[in-house]
Amino acid sequence: MAQAFWSSVFASSADQTWAVVRQFNGLPDWHPGIRASEIIGGGNGLTPGAVRILTGVDGSTYRERLVALDDAGRKLSYEIVEAPLPVRGYRSTLHVQPVADTGGAFLSWHAAFDPAEGSTAQEAATVLEAAYAPALANLHTIIA
């Protein structure tokens, strides 16, 4: 499996950061490439199995399923069911950890996937990381 990864250190506490990130239906609040999210089944958006439809600012749509939500460990995992991305078998985890010396938070966004036919692992990772970077940059402005 190929992997993509992005991370950032936040001045806000791990609990403050997690309160925003844990909202499976809240991605439009902090991802500048996503304009809408709707839970279409499987629960209320905080229950594993919940399915969301994301609409990008370009009109593209993404169907994703919440795999796990671990408040104690501050981890949210989801998988892509259907999306216009060069990946197959995509599963991703956002993990918020406390930073001991500053009281801030470290947020990592890690994905494992197979590149879609016609795409290399590096090409797919570049596309994913190009989506993660502005999302985490914008998250800083939301929880500053």
Tell me the per-residue pLDDT of 53-75, one tens digit each, with 9 for 90 and over. 999 999 999 999 999 999 999 99
Residues written for the chain: 144
Q: Which pLDDT belongs to residue 144?
A: 75
Map out the domains of the chain with their CATH numbers.
2-142 (3.30.530.20)
- Assessment of whether the complete model's pTM goes beyond 0.75: yes
Residue 52: the pLDDT is: 98
pLDDT by residue (tens digit) across 22-54? 999 999 999 999 999 999 999 888 999 999 999
- pLDDT given at position 53: 98
What number is the average pLDDT over the span 4-16?
Answer: 97
